[in-house]
Structure 1
Amino acid sequence: MFYSRTKTYIKEIDEAIGGGVTRGAIFTLSYDTYSLGWMIGFEILKNMIQHHNSYGVIHNYLLPPPKLISRAMSVGLDIRNSCTIIDVFGSKYNIPPIQGANIVQISNPNPETLNPKIEAIYDSKIFPAAKNKKIVRLVYTIEGMSTIFGEKITIKLLNSEMAYLGRKYSEWDILTILLLNRDAVSRHLSAWISSISDDVILFKSEITDGKVIETMTIIKSQHSDFEPITYRYSAVPDEERNSKFTFRFHSH
């Protein structure tokens, strides 16, 4: 139970990391300025909800909720109906919750009380609603968190979150997906995030002859036989739904 793996339903990732993510894993997607690597985070969240009946939670530090909803829709995920959004960004800048979405705001979000308030939301709302489901937390994003609170405070907040998740490990199966634009933070913060992560995927974009070429390198995993592997990939419009993208991977 504690060491079982759950498929992400992205074949290339599952094969590289031993069949899927482990219980309680911290799964980091690190991408550069022009990369679409952040979309993979929403794709995994969508797959976890659709294939495993997981309970989705998004910690929003970067965008007003309508824009966040639009980003998730790029992979066909409607987070208004499928996820709880803990809206730190909207709380910080007094953006009222939008109708039709499960948005939870935090009064006066500051470094001293933020995590206790988030923990209270989990204890009073999320755990009772999730029941026995796997919980998938997507932190959107680390650079957004750092912009609001600064890098030193961000590290302290994440450290406190890890301690809380550690206390809940035997009771709840919680996957954490961290989205990080590494060009927007210091090397120190990027390295620290990598050090706490169980799985790390690095995305790199390159503009050549007017085209964006992207690579995905799976560089860290808990799997005992793991070897780093690189793929080229692209996000292409879905043939059936123009607003949705799907991913194509090719060995590099």
Structure 2
Amino acid sequence: MENEIIKTGIDELDTMLGGGLLDDSLVLVIYDTNSFGWVLGVEIFRSLVSRNGFGVVTNYSFPLSLLQKYGKMLGFDVRKLGESRDMAIIDVFSAVNGIAADLPFVYSPGEIDASTYLPKMVSVYYEILQEIGERKPIGLTITLDGFAYLFGEESTMKLLQKNLVMKESARVAERRKRPVNIFLLNQDRVSKRFISWISQYAEHIIEFSHREAPGVEKMVVRKSLLPDFEPCTAEFRFSKGKIRIVPERLEI
């Protein structure tokens, strides 16, 4: 069965990807410390959620107050989206660090380590599925390097592999809308080996590197499994909470 192609809602990006995103796919957004490339991952998430999607944010990296500040910088009201029942947050960061959250859209897996991670996260996810209904799940991992920091790279790779096996089984056994997942990854915080392992599982990879001019970056679509994909680069600009993408075809 052919996978549906889902438009990101960002025309220049859809063209660079070869038409959009594959349904039931993983989008890996790689950037460095001084990059705003992560903003594109958030914009894809916001666009897909706005079109009958339900956002599931897995937070490994920030206290909720800081997460909300990052959202406000982009004009993205985290609390409003959660309270309108269009998004849920699985707050691993707070669970690991013993912080309690009283917001109704924030879910905690409880005390968690590498050995209990999968059963506890699956339990929380299936609780959230009751709210999703007929909407499409849109996952946003903030951030994959935060995941690796909390549990270690080796454990993180093994957990992601096991999760892939579970997802493959669910495709056969469960009749529900499949998710699109967006992973944000700061490459300066993990090893090249870790990036290599994760990259093989992603259907789409978008990579950023900052330039000397603030807010101006090189953007490369490294990988897309769509048949119309052609390698290309773009100038990526971020200013006043807005992004601009100017594609440029690679000379091959």
Q: Structure 2 length normalisation: TM-score?
A: 0.90
Distance 2:136 2:68 in 1: 22
Q: Is the 8 A contact 1:2 1:23 kept in 2?
A: no
Distance 2:40 2:163 in 1: 23
Amino acid across the alignment from 1:173 = R
Higher relative contact order (CA 8 A, sep 6+): 2
- Establish whether residue 187 from structure 1 lines up as the match of residue 192 from structure 2: yes
Equivalent of 1:84 in 79, 82, 88:
88
- Pairing of 1:104-115 with structure 2 (within 5 A): 104-115=107-118
In structure 1, the residue corresponding to 2:71 is in which secondary structure? helix
TM-superposed deviation, 1:108 = 1.1
TM-superposed deviation, 1:134 = 1.0
Q: CA offsets, 1:199-227, max 9 Å, x none? A: 0001010225xx35301101100111211
- Paired position in structure 1 for 2:121: 118
How many pairs align?
Answer: 240
In structure 1, the residue corresponding to 2:238 is in which secondary structure? strand
Amino acid across the alignment from 1:41 = G
**Residues 194, 224 of structure 1: CA spacing in aligned structure 2 closer, same or farther, 3 A cutoff?**
same
- Establish whether residue 251 from structure 1 lines up as the match of residue 247 from structure 2: yes
Q: Give the gaps of 5 or more residues in structure 2.
A: none
Q: Is the 8 A contact 1:24 1:169 kept in 2?
A: no
Q: CA offsets, 1:30-69, max 9 Å, x none? A: 001100011111111110111x210100111001111112
- Paired position in structure 2 for 1:165: 167
Distance 1:132 1:115 in 2: 25
Distance 1:160 1:228 in 2: 31
**Residues 18, 91 of structure 1: CA spacing in aligned structure 2 closer, same or farther, 3 A cutoff?**
same
Amino acid across the alignment from 2:218 = T
Structure 1 moving runs of 4+ over 6 Å: none
Q: Give the gaps of 5 or more residues in structure 1.
A: 238-244
- Establish whether residue 138 from structure 1 lines up as the match of residue 162 from structure 2: no
- Percent of pairs identical after alignment? 30
- Give the CA RMSD over aligned residues: 1.6
Q: Structure 1 length normalisation: TM-score?
A: 0.90
